[in-house]
Amino acid sequence: MCALVVYWGTFYTFGVFFKPVSTAFGWTRATTSAAFSINALVWGITEVVAGKLSDRFGPRAIVTAGGLFIGLGYLLMSQISGALWQLYLFYGVIVAIGMGCAFVPIVSTVAKWFVKRRGLMTGIVVSGIGIGTMLIPPLATRLIDTYDWSLSYMIVGAIALVFITLAAQFLRRDPAQMAQLPDGADELETENTAANGAGSSLREAIRTRQFWMLSALFFSFFFCLNTIMVHIVNHATDLPTSPRILETTAANILVIIGGTSIAGRLAMGAFADRIGIRLTVIITLAVVTVALFWLLWANELWMLYLFGVIFGFGYGGLVALTSPLAANLFGLGSHGVILGITFFVGALGQSLGPFLAGKIFDATTSYQPAFIICGVLAIICIILALLLRPTTGKGGANETRRST
């Protein structure tokens, strides 16, 4: 959880640094957003590798390497001199490799340690993302106001490098490696699961329509999520309100999203353990959809804050359910690499969304068309979730019936 606080808290400072950096060098929003799009692609590829390595070697070394990469990337960002290749290499590649070593190894490890309360415990761990979103972007905003964006990036990089690498040293592999049982599982059940291969292999999973439907769901959701997280501060400061919304005030939208996402992660994680993963996923997607369509009419600060409350709760709940959903559909034997590949498809949406929104703004001086696209994709996510059904492959079906 502590590692995720710093990972995502520093990651979501991109929206805060966006205007100062692009203004300093005269870059357009599409040009600057392209760094985030490159980041998403490299991140997605890294997640596949990190998931596979985590299944084999455990999370400690992977997350430690991630801390080193992400810290180095932000430190190098402080040294940008105006060449676009620097932005794309430092943020688009080096930071992305660090981020790719974070989520999948950590949540995959949680899934292996907990059976009975897997949804709740995953929600507690990933609530670190919300805490980081609340704390670090506002800190970065104040640092930029007090110093400048360059020194601020140096401070962010130092925080990431030190705290993530330290937190990673406390991670432990699955309980079987320590002669223990997962919480909520008796010895007989564990033996039977092991005998069945602990779920679908990667080859078995990719032959199912559930795998590709889950991947499409992640593509659409992460398209929406990162479009919002990259551009919502810019959108707020561009609105013709009176008085005009300042960047320090607009950054509070990210704080609200982060804060309510914690409630969403905990509440939806607990609900999933009670009413089932699929139904809870549908509920969270419905909340996200309502928020995105509300954003189309939100033209005052209080309306944007309300958007942050609704969107944060829904997005936080869904993120908490991604790992348990994959575990319930396909089992745990290849959980890391299966989750990594579905997240790679999600990263394609994560890459396309912010860049497309930047292009739309450059062409129209408005984010409204981009937000309409996000709303439509959110509806598609609901349809995909409604169509998801338990696999009949080895291990996955049994896990799903117990939890859904």
In order of their start, the domains of the chain are 2-172+198-403 (1.20.1250.20)
pLDDT tens, residue by residue, 118-174: 777 777 887 888 888 888 988 998 999 999 999 999 999 999 999 999 999 888 766
User: What CA–CA distance (Å, rounded) separates 337 from 9?
Assistant: 25
Q: Please enumerate in sequence order all residues whose Cβ is within 8 A of that of 310, keeping only pairs 6 or more positions apart, or say none.
A: 260, 287, 290, 291, 294
CA atoms within a 13 Å half-sphere pointing along the CA-CB vector of 361: 22
pLDDT tens, residue by residue, 39-59: 988 988 898 888 888 878 888
User: What CA–CA distance (Å, rounded) separates 10 from 73?
Assistant: 11
Least confident piece of the model among 28-37, 175-184, 230-239, 355-364: 175-184
Longest dimension (CA), the chain: 66
Average pLDDT, whole number, for the chain?
85
244: left (phi over 0), alpha (psi -120 to 50) or beta: beta
Task: Residue 283: count other Cβ atoms within 10 Å of its Cβ.
Answer: 20
DSSP 71-125: HHHHHHHTT--S-HHHHHHIIIIIIHHHHHTTHHHHHHHHHHHBSTTHHHHHHHH
User: What CA–CA distance (Å, rounded) separates 317 from 279?
Assistant: 12
- Angle, CA 362 vertex, CA 359 and CA 366 arms, to 5°: 100
* Tally of residues, the chain: 404
pLDDT tens, residue by residue, 66-124: 999 999 999 999 999 989 999 999 999 999 999 999 888 887 787 777 776 777 777 78
Q: What is the dihedral of CA 283, 287, 292, 297, to 10 degrees?
A: 140
Query: Residue 402: its pLDDT value, please?
Result: 40
